[in-house]
A and B are shown apart, each in its own frame.
Chain A
C-alpha cells in the first residue's frame, strides 16, 4: 500500500518527440485511478514510467515516500498486468505465479500459501500445473492477475488488461478486477481507451489528450461537468453532441431553433453547446424547441438512438423505443442540462455547475442553483 505522487512528469523520446508533458497527479493510498484517452495520448507511457519500463525524462515519481526515478522496476514494489498477459510460456501456471516471489527469496512455505490463496481467489486452482498455452484468454488473464496479486505489491499497474478479451468476458472481468481491488485495497493505476471501462472502474478518472491531462475527477463529475469539448466527446456513450450556437441575452440560437436559457447563459456570442443525447426530449412544435430532421435510427432495445440534423449540424438523440418517429421532430432540453464551451479553445464555460477544474473564462456569470 502506498500513495503515488507524480509531479511535473514529462517524457521526451529519442529524436525529441514529446509523448507526455507536465503531468501532476496525487494518488491516494488505496485509490483506483484510471488513465483514459485515445490512442497516442500518452496514457501507457505514463504508466510505463511509473513501472520503470520507460525512463522518466522530466519530473519525479514518488511511490510511498521514495522517489523511484532511478529505481529498477523490480525494486519499485509494483506489479503489472499486461495487455497480452505476458505470461512466461515455458513455465506452468504455478511457476508463473511463483517466479517473482522466488526471485525475492520468499520462503517456500509462504510462496505456497500465497499461490494457493491467489489461485482460490481467482478460481485457477485446477489449472496450476498447466502451461499458459493450454489456457483460454480469460484464464490467462486470471493468471496474469494472480501473478500480480501473489506479490502483494504497493501498487498494481494495469495496461489495458481486458482489451484482448471478448465483450462478455470483459464485462465480468471488469467487475472482478474492481472487487479484487476493493478487497485488497491496493493502490491501482489502470490504463484503458474504453470510456465505459474507465467510468465503471475508477475512483477517479484522469482524461489525457495529447500527452496532457484534460481533466481529473470522479467518473460522475467528469460525466456531468466535462472540462472541455474533448472530455465531453470522449466520456459517455453515445458521445455528447457538440453544436455551434450563439447566445443573445437569455436566448440560445442553434441553427434555426431558439431556446430560452432561463438565466443559465454563461457568456454571450458564439459558443459550442454540448447536448447529451439522453437529456433531450421530444416535444410538439412550438417556441422554445429545436427542429430536428431525422436521418436514421438505431435500435438498442431499451432505447432508440435517433440520428439527424439540427440545421446542418449532426445530432444524436436517445428516445424511448416506443416514441413515434416522423421525418421532422422537435427537441427541447432543460437549460440546466446544457453544457457550454468556449467556441475558440473548447474549455468549459460555467453553465450548470462549476467545473472540477476551473476553466479560464468560467465564473463570469455564476449558475443559478
Chain B
C-alpha cells in the first residue's frame, strides 16, 4: 500500500540529515576508519539479511503486488481477475470525483504543512526567548506530543462535537453554525485544525532544538549588526534553521498526505457522504469498503509516483538552498 511506501523514504532522510549537521564531518571520517574487512564475502550479506528481509517483505513485495494488481479487475468474491491494461488508471484519473479529492488533498496538505510549521515556529521562537519558567512552558507545549495520537485525535474531535464541542459553541457566538460531518467546508475546516493541532508539538520540539543549536555568539553578533529583531530572524536565525525546517517540511507533507488517515476516519466514517477525504482515504475506501482492489491499487500506485516526484523535487530544488554547517 502507498501508506507504507513513505516509510523507507523518511527513514532515508532521517539518516541523511544524521541529526546534527555538526556531526557530519567527523562521521565521514569515522566511516573511513571503521571500514571492517570480512574474511568471507558472504558474511556481510548474512548480517544484512534480517534488515533486507523486512524491507523486501513489508515494502517492496506489497509495492510490486499493488503495481501488478493495478492492471487487473478483481472479482469482488475472489474468484478471479481480468487483465484490463491501463483502464484502472484512466478510470481514476479522469473521474471528476477523483480529481476533486486530489484537489482537496493538495489544499489540505498545503494548509496543514504551512500552519503546523508556522505555528510551531512561532511557539518555538517565543519559548526560546523566555527566561523565567522556560522549562515549565516548554514542557507544557511538548506534553501534547506525549499523548497517544488516537487520544489526541479524539480530544481534537471533541472540540468540534455537535453537542459538546467548545469550538462549535464559540463559533456560534459569531454566527457560524458549524456542522462538522454534514457541511463539506465545515468538515474540511475541522480536519485542517485538528491535523495542524496534532502536528504542532512535533514541529515545536524540532524547531526549538534547532533554535538552541544556533550559536549564541552568532545571534549576539547579529544584534550588534542589525537593530530589527524581525530582520535578524529572517536573515540569520531562519537560514541557520533551514536544515531542521527542510527535514520538517518533508515530514509534514508526509504527515498531511498519509498520517492523517486515522483522523479522517474518525471524522467521516459514520457520517453521510459529501465529506472531504484525502486520496489515501479514498484508496482505503475503494479497496476495503468497495472491494475494488484493482482500482484501489492503481490509485496507490499514482500516490507512490506523486510522493516519489515530490521527494525528488524537494531534494533537488529546496535542499540546494539549505545550508548545512
Contact = CB atoms under 8 A, between A and B. Distances in A.
Interface in A294-310: none
Interface stretch (A84-92, A199-207, A237-245, A341-349): A84-92
A103 B217 contact: no
Contact of A99 (B131, B226, B240): B226
B226 A74 contact: yes
Q: Which of A14, A84, A88 neighbours the largest number of chain B CB atoms within 10 Å of its CB?
A: A88
Contact of A80 (B218, B224, B228, B239): B224
A103 B225 contact: yes
A84 B132 CA distance: 28
B23 to A, nearest CB: 14
Contacts of B231: 103
B223 A73 contact: yes
Q: Binding site of B, secondary structure by majority: helix, strand, loop or mixed?
A: helix
- Which of B218, B225, B226, B242 has the most C-beta atoms of chain A within 10 angstroms of its own C-beta? B225
Interface string A56-92: 0000000000000000111100111011101111100
Contact of B223 (A14, A74, A89, A147): A74
Contacts of A133: 325
B37 interface: no
Interface residues of A, number: 24
A84 B226 contact: no
Contacts of B215: 84, 86
B236 interface: yes
Interface residues of B, number: 22
Nearest to B214: A89
Contacts of A84: 215, 217
Contacts of A72: 223, 227
Contacts of B131: 14
A14 B221 CA distance: 23
A89 B217 contact: no
Interface string B108-142: 00000000000000000000000110000000000
Interface string A318-342: 0000000000000000000000000
Contacts, number: 64
B225 A100 contact: yes
B131 to A, nearest CB: 8
B220 interface: yes
A83 B217 contact: yes
A89 B224 contact: no
B81 interface: no
A72 B222 CA distance: 12
Interface string B197-234: 00000000000000000010110111111111001000
B177 interface: no
B100 interface: no
Interface of B: 131-132, 215, 217-218, 220-228, 231, 235-236, 239-240, 242, 323, 325
Nearest 7 A/B pairs, CB to CB = A74-B227, A100-B225, A86-B217, A90-B323, A86-B221, A103-B226, A90-B239
29 contacts: A14-B132, A51-B224, A52-B223, A53-B223, A53-B224, A73-B220, A73-B224, A74-B224, A74-B225, A79-B224, A80-B221, A82-B217, A83-B217, A86-B215, A86-B218, A86-B220, A88-B218, A88-B221, A89-B218, A89-B240, A89-B323, A90-B323, A99-B225, A100-B224, A100-B225, A100-B226, A103-B227, A103-B231, A147-B225
